[in-house]
């Protein structure tokens, strides 16, 4: 797909560019309404595509969860054949700017199969929760208070650890959720591991507060996010944070989302996932 189409779609999904203006520009770019609709079909996430781990996979127990101390609610996935140490390894799984959707629930189930208890919160709850319409969800995110959202997640981490002193807590997030991982890492010094997928940098003044082992995955073609990373990396170095940043050649923003059509990059997704699981298993080990 023409990289200009991908960049226009990224602008549409991450700025205040409305759908009508987006489609008008897309029609001009590709030459017709029919071609624009076909391009949109090829690039927009399609949750009808098969999940990696089915909702009814017998190896996973999936339920709703609610944490009263933080007000956070969402989706919980645990291994059915849980080992004793599973109860001591939690991974908070933060969604993209479409909310808690089938893809993110699938990610939580994948983490469960790796031996973790995965908690995927619906961070649109202050605005009524994730709607079924993707465009409606995208429009809700600019209304969220990022600082308050980060505080709620930090309270979740603290409450989980207060209830179980042996607990190890990691966090993984994608797109908007990757940016939230970066914010949470500055607000939760008791976090053990943090993995951001193509997430923008947090306030650089807060970087010295990061104590978690940190990893970020970037698509080399993702100019918008990548522009925030060099000063972030300098701040991480200066603060003495243990970190790794990986950039995947030929990969766009959202390269890990296998429901995302043309932006999905299988090679980058598999390599980044193996690195992520390796870090989580090392840092969250009992």
Same domain, 111 and 7: no
Determine the pLDDT at residue 82: 65
Same domain, 102 and 31: no
* 55 occurs within a structural domain: no
Same domain, 81 and 15: no
Same domain, 30 and 91: no
Residue range 58-71, pLDDT digits in tens = 999 999 999 999 99
Angstrom CA distances, 50 to 46, 55, 105, stand at 9, 10, 13
Determine the pLDDT at residue 63: 95
Q: Where are the beta strands (DSSP E) in 46-156?
A: 60-67, 72-79, 89-94, 117-121
Low-confidence ranges of the chain (pLDDT < 70): 47-50, 82-87
For residue 93, list its beta bridge partners. 172
* 268 occurs within a structural domain: yes
Determine the pLDDT at residue 234: 98
Give the separation between CA 256 and CA 6, rounded to whole angstroms.
15
* 147 occurs within a structural domain: yes
Determine the pLDDT at residue 37: 83
Determine the pLDDT at residue 24: 82
237's torsion region: left (phi>0), alpha (psi -120 to 50) or beta?
A: alpha
Determine the pLDDT at residue 259: 87
Same domain, 229 and 118: yes
Determine the pLDDT at residue 44: 75
* 50 occurs within a structural domain: no
Give the separation between CA 259 and CA 102, rounded to whole angstroms.
10
* 252 occurs within a structural domain: yes
Give the separation between CA 4 and CA 123, rounded to whole angstroms.
31
**Which helix H or strand E contains 150, and what residues bound it?**
helix 146-163
Determine the pLDDT at residue 18: 75
Same domain, 16 and 95: no
Determine the pLDDT at residue 53: 93
Same domain, 19 and 135: no
Domain coverage including residue 70? 60-283
* 49 occurs within a structural domain: no
Q: What is the pTM of this model?
A: 0.89
Same domain, 10 and 72: no
Determine the pLDDT at residue 121: 98
């Amino acid at each position: 797909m023409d990289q200009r189409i991908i960049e226009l779609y990224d602008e549409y999904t991450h700025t205040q560019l409305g759908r009508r203006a987006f489609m008008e520009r897309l029609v001009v770019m590709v030459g017709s309404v029919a071609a624009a609709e076909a391009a949109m079909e090829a690039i927009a996430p399609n949750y009808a595509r098969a999940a990696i781990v089915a909702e009814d996979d017998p190896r996973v127990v999936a339920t709703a969860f609610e944490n009263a101390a933080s007000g956070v609610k969402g989706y919980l996935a645990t291994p059915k054949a849980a080992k004793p140490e599973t109860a001591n390894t939690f991974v908070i799984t933060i969604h993209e700017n479409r909310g808690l959707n089938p893809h993110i629930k699938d990610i939580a189930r994948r983490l469960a199969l790796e031996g973790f208890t995965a908690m995927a919160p619906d961070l649109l709850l202050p605005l009524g929760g994730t709607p079924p319409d993707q465009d409606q969800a995208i429009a809700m995110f600019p209304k969220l208070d990022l600082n308050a959202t980060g505080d709620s997640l930090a309270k979740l981490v603290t409450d989980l650890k207060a209830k179980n002193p042996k607990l190890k807590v990691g966090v993984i997030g994608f797109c908007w959720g990757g940016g939230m991982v970066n914010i949470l890492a500055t607000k939760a010094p008791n976090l053990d591991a943090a993995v951001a997928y193509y997430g923008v940098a947090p306030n650089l003044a807060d970087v010295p507060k990061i104590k978690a082992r940190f990893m970020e995955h970037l698509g080399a073609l993702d100019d918008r996010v990548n522009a925030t990373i060099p000063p972030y990396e300098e701040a991480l170095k200066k603060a003495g944070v243990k970190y790794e940043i990986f950039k995947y050649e030929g990969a766009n923003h959202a390269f890990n989302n296998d429901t995302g059509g043309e932006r999905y990059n299988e090679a980058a997704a598999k390599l980044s996932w193996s690195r992520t699981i390796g870090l989580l298993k090392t840092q969250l080990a009992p």
